[in-house]
Structure 1
Amino acid sequence: MTQPAPASDIVPDSEHRGIVARLPLPLRDYALLARFDRPIGWWLLFWPGAWSVWLTGAGVQWQLLLWMLLGSIAMRGAGCVYNDIVDADIDRQVARTAKRPVASGRVSKTGAWIWLLTLCAVGLVVLLQLRPLAQLVALGSLALVAAYPFMKRITGWPQAWLGLVFTWSAPVGWIALRGDRLDVLAALYAGAILWCIGYDTIYALQDREDDALVGIGSSALSLGSNVRLGVGAFFGGAVFFFGLAIWLLRQDWVALLALAPAAIHFAWQVLTLDPDDGANALRRFRSNRYAGLLVAAACFVAGNA
């Protein structure tokens, strides 16, 4: 019987330590490399696509959403593998990331590249399910993805670049179903970007001391003692642009009320955030899977009611 992995092999913020620990080597390390133990990442990548699909007014679109979820799982995994290849030297110097498979040497860079290409092949299968124009839009994210790991080396706001990258499913989902009303899409995408900056600033609170020592940038460091105010501004801006997208689509105050649950959730995150408590920050960060669901519900109501 496979023995559980030593605790040292699994990063502290894994959501499924028990399941991952029982995977045989080397499968466990490849699962960790793609962050399969932390599904929060693929939900955050998926939700903006679901928002745009449902806001188009094209109905539930279960088949498209399931393809987009598979693509989110595969491409989030591929992005994490690529990030770990590029950041291996930095990861070794940060307590939270030092035990990652590439940084620790448990997975070679050659093995990581092969795994990356495998995940990209799954993403290609998903890409081929989209209409040609949506395929081109999806491919447009590749340059942004490739540049992201280097942003923390040259800017104090890498979260802003991540916002562009990690919410790209919003334009993909919209263009997959309709090519008009790009004003609605632009507002939705702007809101998604601000949402991403907000939640990733919360996530970055866990690494502030290590990031400062290593000399890399983050919005959590750039905001200093104003982190809660900054996160509140990002979330507030996100709600504004979500509301603008709905209003541009249909000037109906009742439709705007559908955003109220999401707005309350964002307010709860800000009001209960403790910037000096890593566990508190991690819980608030993970709660954004539910925030994404609430925004999705608002988009469905506005687009299809």
Structure 2
Amino acid sequence: MNTHAILPDAAATNWVDRYAPERLRPWLKLGRFDRPAGIWLLMLPGWQGVALAAAEQGRWPNPLLLLAVFVGAALMRAAGCAFNDIVDRDFDAQVARTAMRPIPAGLISVKQAWGFLIGCSLVSFLILVCLGWTAILLGVLSLGLVAAYPFMKRITWWPQAWLGLTFNWGALLGYAAAVGHLSWSAALLYGAGIFWTLGYDTIYAIQDIEDDALAGIKSSTRRLGRHVKLGVAGFYVVSTVLVIAAAWVGGLGPLFLPFAGAFALHLSRQAAAVRLDDGAGALKLFKSNAVAGLLVVVGLVAGLWKPGVSF
């Protein structure tokens, strides 16, 4: 099999295909390290949770905690992708975008993929045990969401909603790791992330809408059909309202609002640009959500400033 093939949703200039040793490429592609957008989208809710907790206490986010969230997110995303590919290997072989992934392409066996998954999970667990008991409990509970996700596309038209529950769990975990408990503001932030993911993953699934129909794979994109633009816009409106509510309940200062406005504008431009017949454009819109999520992080940090309070 060709280990030099660049996967359809990876950039032609991605670092794995340009610089990684040939023997490592299938493993890095199994963990989606050639497509870092997913790492950002898993990591950013965790950073948001850390930033919200810090802002509520009037302090800067702990840089070591932000680093731990980044490394943990990268490893757990790799483990989750491996598990998804193990479960979906027969479906992936029928979809043009996924047929050359390492497992369906025969570059990595299912047994080897399990070994990769376990290795990434063990290292992630070592990071998790340093974050406190509440974070540890949340991390263990997240495994149920991760394990169930690959099966959602078989039983519901809304697997993107389940991905939202899974990908944004880090908002709760990051918040708990920072202060040792949860709050209503953290719950609202989590809700905002769920609808954000529901929107951007509905956009992402436009790439596969025809192949998914032939393979019998369900998605919010197929369910919404010609109403997909309106659906994405609605998801993004709810996300924006909830993230502002999280900041308000958390008592953040007014400097959060300009960044919330930029977040809303970014999402509205995505919704306006969605087209069912433009898979390449959908991928570009999907990847732009790293910027959207980072705007929320910066806004939450800015929100620690309040009139008349020095820090």
Letter in 1 for 2:23: P
Residue 21 of structure 2 is matched in structure 1 by: 24
Tell me, yes or no, if structure 1 residue 50 matches structure 2 residue 47. yes
- Partner Cα separation in structure 2 for residue 265 and residue 204 of structure 1: 19
Task: State the shift of 1:118 in Å.
Answer: 1.2
- Partner Cα separation in structure 2 for residue 20 and residue 214 of structure 1: 29
Residue 270 of structure 2 is matched in structure 1 by: 269
- Partner Cα separation in structure 1 for residue 305 and residue 194 of structure 2: 24
Letter in 2 for 1:134: A
Task: State the shift of 1:178 in Å.
Answer: 2.2
Change (3 A) 1:254 1:13: closer
Task: State the shift of 1:276 in Å.
Answer: 1.2
Residue 169 of structure 1 is matched in structure 2 by: 170
Residue 278 of structure 1 is matched in structure 2 by: 279
Gap runs ≥5 in structure 1: none
Task: State the shift of 1:48 in Å.
Answer: 0.7
Task: State the shift of 1:179 in Å.
Answer: 4.6
Residue 189 of structure 1 is matched in structure 2 by: 190
Q: How does 1:1-305 map to 2 (within 5 A)?
A: 5-6=3-4, 9-15=5-11, 17=13, 19-21=15-17, 22-56=19-53, 57=55, 58-179=59-180, 182-250=183-251, 255-305=256-306
- Partner Cα separation in structure 1 for residue 304 and residue 214 of structure 2: 47
Change (3 A) 1:139 1:281: same
Change (3 A) 1:112 1:133: same
Q: Is 2:204–2:282's contact at 8 Å kept on the other side of the alignment?
A: yes
- Partner Cα separation in structure 2 for residue 71 and residue 275 of structure 1: 34
Once the two structures are superposed, residues 5-35 of structure 1 have per-residue CA deviations (whole angstroms, 9 ceiling, x without a partner) of 54xx331111255532353343110011000
- Partner Cα separation in structure 1 for residue 101 and residue 182 of structure 2: 43
Task: State the shift of 1:197 in Å.
Answer: 0.6
Letter in 2 for 1:216: I
Change (3 A) 1:251 1:167: closer
Task: State the shift of 1:106 in Å.
Answer: 1.2
Q: TM-score, normalised by structure 2?
A: 0.92
- Partner Cα separation in structure 2 for residue 168 and residue 46 of structure 1: 10
Secondary structure of the corresponding residue to residue 103 of structure 2: helix
- Partner Cα separation in structure 2 for residue 132 and residue 292 of structure 1: 27
- Partner Cα separation in structure 1 for residue 12 and residue 34 of structure 2: 5
Task: State the shift of 1:166 in Å.
Answer: 0.6
Change (3 A) 1:243 1:227: same
Q: TM-score, normalised by structure 1?
A: 0.94
Secondary structure of the corresponding residue to residue 42 of structure 2: helix
- Partner Cα separation in structure 2 for residue 120 and residue 251 of structure 1: 35
Secondary structure of the corresponding residue to residue 286 of structure 2: helix
Task: State the shift of 1:177 in Å.
Answer: 2.0
Which deviates the most, 283-292 or 20-29?
20-29
Change (3 A) 1:11 1:255: closer
- Partner Cα separation in structure 1 for residue 85 and residue 142 of structure 2: 19
Q: Is 2:175–2:181's contact at 8 Å kept on the other side of the alignment?
A: no
Q: Is 1:17–1:37's contact at 8 Å kept on the other side of the alignment?
A: no
The alignment-based identity, stated in percent, is 44
Letter in 2 for 1:32: K
Gap runs ≥5 in structure 2: 307-311
Secondary structure of the corresponding residue to residue 101 of structure 1: coil
Q: Is 2:175–2:182's contact at 8 Å kept on the other side of the alignment?
A: no
Which deviates the most, 94-103 or 255-264?
255-264
Letter in 2 for 1:219: S
